[in-house]
Amino acid sequence: MNIETTLRKINTLKILFVSPANNILKIEYIFERLPIHHILVMENEILKGIDSKIVLLNIYRNSVLDGKLPNRSVIRADEIIASNLILLDVNDT
């Protein structure tokens, strides 16, 4: 990829996201069916953060180490988001 290409030229118009209240079962469902590793968490068209497969794997690993299963139906998307994001403009390269 040319490092001078703007984000506008490589971004997609098909944006996949979940709401903050969605549980991680919904996120798992999406990850199982699509070749992606991150998903946006949005509320009222505002980006709240990003959830990732790595975060889910860490939740599962920590639960196993603690000897308990996570209740995946009650853990919300907004509880596991990366929220300290660096935002770029579509004209950035």
What pTM value is reported for the model? 0.79
Contact predicate 86/2, CB 8 Å: no
The packing angle between helices 24-33 and 53-66, to 10°, is 120
The pLDDT tens digits of the residues spanning 30-86 come to 999 999 999 999 999 999 999 999 999 999 999 999 999 889 999 999 999 987 888
Instruction: Judge whether 69 and 38 are in contact, CB under 8 Å.
Output: no
- Choose which CATH entry (3.10.580.10, 3.30.70.260, 3.10.28.10, 3.30.300.30) describes domain 7-79: 3.10.580.10
φ and ψ at 66, to 5 degrees? -85, -5
The tens digit of pLDDT for each residue in 16-26 reads 899 999 999 99
Specify whether the CB–CB gap between 90 and 10 falls below 8 A.
Answer: no
